Structures are given as C-alpha cells and as structure tokens.
Structure 1
Amino acid sequence: MANKQFTRADRVAQQIQRDLATVIRAELDHPLASLITVTDVEVSRDYSHAKVFYTFLGDVSHRPEIARLLEGTKGFLRAQIARGFSLYKMPELHFEYDESIEYGMNLTQKIDQANALPKAPEEDGQA
C-alpha cells in the first residue's frame, strides 16, 4: 500500500471542508442552504486564504442567489469554523462554483445518448 504523506495544509483544508459543510446546513437561515455541497477546499501555503469549491443541487436559476448568500455570510462562516481550529490566523474564505459535477453529468448524458443510437451492421469481411 502506498504511503501518502499529507501536509498540514491538506489536513486544514479537509477540516475546513467538513466544518463548513456542517455550518452551512445547520446555521444558514436560507431554505436552499441544505442543497449546497462543499466539494473541495484549497488552502494557501501561508494559511491566509482558502478557496472553497461548492455545488448547488437545486434549480440552476438559484445559482446567483446562492453565490450572493455565501459571499454575504463568509465572515459569519469563517467565525463559526474558527472555533474548531488552533491557527494563528483563520484563512479568508473565497467561494467558487464547482462546475465539474455538471460537466460530468452532461458527459454521462451524452455517452448514454450515443449508446442508445442504433448500431451500424458490422461488416463480415466477405467480398
């Protein structure tokens, strides 16, 4: 089995991801907050910034509203997750919508459509 070494930044990012997902679901007073999924967090080497990738499982028309919600509450979210950390400075949160889930679903749909097309008869090789 390969021995993968995790850096402290990786562990901090994982903890931020877990805590942020919990706080968003439990603390945000918005009916669509439970449909937000934190997919990944990248922390800078000096721990001053954390890029938070998220997806929204609801209607696409609500994406701008969710983006405004997260941007407007990032100070609150940062304060809430800071309680579980012993860092000198809690990273500033930057939210980015993660389009990889939608891209993957779209690609799967295209593959399914291609597989549903009628197959061309195979040539027997007889001439």
Structure 2
Amino acid sequence: MAREFGRNARVSSQMQKELASIFQRDVRDARLGFITINEVVVTKDLASAKIYVTVLNVDEQGKRDNVKRLNELSPIIRHELAKRMRLRHISELRFFYDDSFDTGMRVAELLRD
C-alpha cells in the first residue's frame, strides 16, 4: 500500500510549522516586517528548501529588503531549525517572495469594481 504523503511532503510540512514558530518567537530583527510562510518546497534529496514568504504592510522595496534580510539570516534560522527537527542534515534555506497574495487581492479588487 502506497503512502499518502511522501517524505518530502512530510518534511516540508514540518519545516513550515517550525519556521513559523521560529519567526514568531526567536527572530528578533526590527527590520523585518510581519512575515507569513506560505509554502516550503524541499528537493527530493532534502539538500535545499525554497521557502515562499509574504510580507504584509510594506511596499515593493520593503518586500525585496525583507527577502534579502531573510536570506542573510538563513544560517541562523537554519541552526535554530536544526535544533527543532530530527534530521541528520538540514536543508539549505533560500527565501523567495510569494506574490500570490498580492495577485489574489488585485483580482478581488477587480471583481469588486
């Protein structure tokens, strides 16, 4: 009988939960806005993870600055993630801005008009 979710999906899901907790409790950087983790995509060999985030209440430059700052903080975040997850190797973290929220808001605005 095949498993419903593969290992990648389980690791991605757990990583998303742990990262949300890390951002909520442990990352204290005044330069970062309110960050939401939308999706975590882990490669098949678990070597790297693409983390798609949304930053609320900032302009385009603020979004780019937040993603740049997250990528600078990725070794610290990765270290904290390694403490929380029971994996032999923790994936390299790369942060990307997910514009699906902005697109959805734009579509909702167009439909309202």
TM-score by length of 2: 0.89
Equivalent residue, structure 1, for 2:62: 62
**Pair 1:69–1:34, CA change in 2 (3 A):** same
Higher relative contact order, structure no. (Cα contacts within 8 Å, ≥ 6 residues apart) = 2
Q: CA RMSD in A?
A: 1.5
- Which structure has the larger Rg over C-alpha atoms? 1
Distance 2:78 2:107 in 1: 35
Are 1:26 and 2:25 an aligned pair? yes
Question: For the structure 1 residues 21 and 33, does the alpha-carbon distance in structure 2 shift closer, same or farther, using more than 3 Å as the test?
Answer: farther
SS of residue matched to 1:14:
helix
The alignment-based identity, stated in percent, is 26
CA contact (8 A) 1:78 1:92 kept: yes
Quick one: structure 1 residues 59 and 34, their matched pair in 2 at CA, closer, same or farther if it must change by over 3 Å?
closer
> Could you tell me which amino acid in structure 1 is paired with residue 84 of structure 2?
G
Counterparts in 2 of 1:12-51, with a 5 A limit?
12-31=11-30, 33=32, 35-51=34-50
Deviates more, 1:27-36 or 1:41-50: 27-36
Alpha-carbon offset, residue 65 of structure 1: 1.9
Pair 1:111-2:106 in alignment: no
Task: Tell me the matched-pair count.
Answer: 110
Gap regions ≥5 residues in structure 1:
114-127
Q: TM-score, normalised by structure 1?
A: 0.80
